[in-house]
Amino acid sequence: MNKEKVGRFYDVVWTEYVPEYEASEKHWALFYTPEEVSGKTILDAGCGTGIFSTIFAKNGAAMVTGIDISPGSLGTAESLKQRFGLPNARFEKQDMLHLPYSDASFDIVWAWGTVHHTTNPPAAITELMRTLKPGGSLFLAIYKKTKVTWIHEIIRKTLVRTPRWSWNFLAKVMAFFGTPIVFFFKKREKSRKGEKLSELILDWYFVPIRHYYTPEEIKAFLEERGYAIEKSLAHSGRFDSSSNFIYKSRKPL
Ligand SMILES: C[S@@+](CC[C@H](N)C(=O)[O-])C[C@H]1O[C@@H](n2cnc3c(N)ncnc32)[C@H](O)[C@@H]1O
């Protein structure tokens, strides 16, 4: 039920939105090189409109499997694949909590901003780990729990109870009042180009499921399972966002 709500939400919010290729590849290059990716099998778990699947495919992956529960986003991902002419990418509607792939199927599992939107993030990470080969690379970007998370959650939990037809209107009103603040902090022009502030607000405050963790919690989760942390970022840096932290880790052999 909740999973369907998340899928429908992303069908509305992200379907048309493809993050800028160059900015996304620059961010991707902080973690992977074409040499590391060349000839490898990749799972892009919660691929959305497919920007990172495209980047892996263009950087020489043998095959990238992008999965998502939002058919609308997958449709846009498929068009991106056609536009770039990438026979080494495929997109499937799958729930990352129950993947149809055998154990140890992928060399790299990438999940940018996705496990925290599932009903059970620890179970989602465990499922991703199952499909990763021994010695494979696991990339996670996860919403960070901060001192003000509870304020965001009060706002979000109030707004998701409002009727669906009012969401666009409410997001536009919030954007109207929020724009001067965002401009003041000079975030707007640096943030997700091509996406309106009202769309960012929709993504942030109207999403049906959202979990937050501290970097320490996820580090402990990984290390308890024998994963070695290879790179971490306290702030994702993608679109200058400070909302996500990142761990790139390696599965034990
Ligand atoms: C914030 S978007 C991120 C999209 C993409 N990773 C990116 O960085 O551009 C989160 C995505 O996770 C997907 N998602 C949420 N729960 C999922 C699940 N259980 N299985 C697969 N995808 C899921 C949503 O449909 C949405 O497309």
The three-state secondary structure class of 153 is helix
Q: Does 187 score more than 80 pLDDT? A: no
pLDDT class of 189 with cuts at 50, 70, 90: very low
pLDDT of amino acid 182: 61
Does the CB atom of residue 249 touch ligand 1 within 6 A? no
Does the CB atom of residue 19 touch ligand 1 within 6 A? yes
pLDDT of amino acid 241: 59
Mean pLDDT across the stretch 2-18? 73
User: What are the residues whose beta carbons fall under 8 Å from the beta carbon of 138, sequence distance 6 or more?
Assistant: 108, 109, 128, 129, 132, 222, 227, 247, 248, 249, 250, 251
* Tens digits of residue pLDDT in 133-156: 999 999 999 999 988 889 989 999
Mean pLDDT across the stretch 247-251? 97
3-state secondary structure 181-211: HHHHCCCCCCCCCCCCHHHHHHHHHCCCCCC
CA of 151 to the centre of ligand 1 (A): 23
pLDDT of amino acid 124: 98
pLDDT of amino acid 6: 79
Which of 17, 31, 43, 114 best tests ligand 1's pocket when mutated (most atoms within 8 Å of CB)?
Answer: 114
Q: Say how far apart CA 35 and CA 189 lie, in whole Å.
A: 33
CA of 164 to the centre of ligand 1 (A): 20
pLDDT of amino acid 190: 47
pLDDT of amino acid 237: 60
Residue of 190, 203, 242 whose CA lies nearest to 48 = 203
Q: Say how far apart CA 19 and CA 146 lie, in whole Å.
A: 26
Q: Say how far apart CA 18 and CA 194 lie, in whole Å.
A: 9
Please give the share of the chain, as a percent, with pLDDT higher than 90.
60
pLDDT of amino acid 149: 87
Which of 69, 95, 139, 212 best tests ligand 1's pocket when mutated (most atoms within 8 Å of CB)?
Answer: 69
Does the CB atom of residue 54 touch ligand 1 within 6 A? no
Mean pLDDT across the stretch 3-9? 77
Does the CB atom of residue 139 touch ligand 1 within 6 A? no
- CB-side exposure of 66: number of CA atoms within 13 Å? 29
Q: Does 52 score more than 80 pLDDT? A: yes
Domains and CATH numbers, the chain: 2-145+211-250 (3.40.50.150), 161-205 (no CATH)
**Residues, the chain:** 253
pLDDT of amino acid 59: 97
The ligand 1 atom nearest the CA atom of 44: 6
Please give the share of the chain, as a percent, with pLDDT higher than 70.
87
Mean pLDDT across the stretch 65-75? 94
Mean pLDDT across the stretch 99-118? 97
The ligand 1 atom nearest the CA atom of 112: 6
Does the CB atom of residue 23 touch ligand 1 within 6 A? no
**Is the whole model's pTM more than 0.85, yes or no?**
yes
User: What are the residues whose beta carbons fall under 8 Å from the beta carbon of 205, sequence distance 6 or more?
Assistant: 152, 155, 156, 159, 171, 174
pLDDT of amino acid 47: 96
Q: Does 10 score more than 90 pLDDT? A: no
pLDDT of amino acid 196: 73
Residue of 139, 225, 240 whose CA lies nearest to 193 = 240
CA of 184 to the centre of ligand 1 (A): 31
Mean pLDDT for the chain? 88
Q: Does 208 score more than 90 pLDDT? A: no
